[in-house]
Structure 1
Amino acid sequence: MKNNKFFNRVYKIVSQIPEGKVATYGQIAAILGNPRAARVVGEAMRRTPDYLDIPSHRVISKDGAMAPGYAFGGEDKQQEMLEKEGVIFKRNGCVDMQKCLWSKTVMEENE
């Protein structure tokens, strides 16, 4: 049950990521006060109920890499979704983190 509460907090944060921006698993964990819980954030993304309709495709690895191909129904599906929203990719297929990382901070979450 402890994970359900944490997962719900993750979903609340992810729902705030604006179109054209991305956040990292670790960034979300840090915003929630548990910077070592990046894998738990990943698990929350994997288990996101469809009815929540949150932009889980906007959560990526710290190096800008996409989730495994099965996560969004195809090898390049997540990248396609992000490109449609204006997220910029480098030649290596990773998100340009300097241009597209969401700047939500822990301070903003506690306001």
Structure 2
Amino acid sequence: MKDIKRVVITGAAGFIGSNLAHYFDENLKDVEVLAVDKFRSDEKFSNGNLKSFGHFKNLLGFSGEIYEGDINCAKTLAMIEKFAPDAIFHEAAISDTTVTEQGELMRTNL
């Protein structure tokens, strides 16, 4: 990873994303990290399940940059583009197999 200087982690407040963010923070201090997450809210899918599970507490102590935004939003994508990452770790996902909003699921997961 010696040529990678800027990294984006989507879904950074989730279990995997937050552990990855903390790993970079603790072990690869020369890499700038932009942690992107939609964060938990009361927003729900039509099946009644929450749309986002990421919790800010998972990023407590993280010293990189944190950006609150939905990766399906043009403003968030512009922020990521402006950051100009060398690598993106895409951890944002809808893992609920009962979600019927297939378009949103595909946009988010792909």
TM-score, reference length from structure 1: 0.30
Pair member with larger Rg = 2
- The structure with the largest strand share of the pair is 2
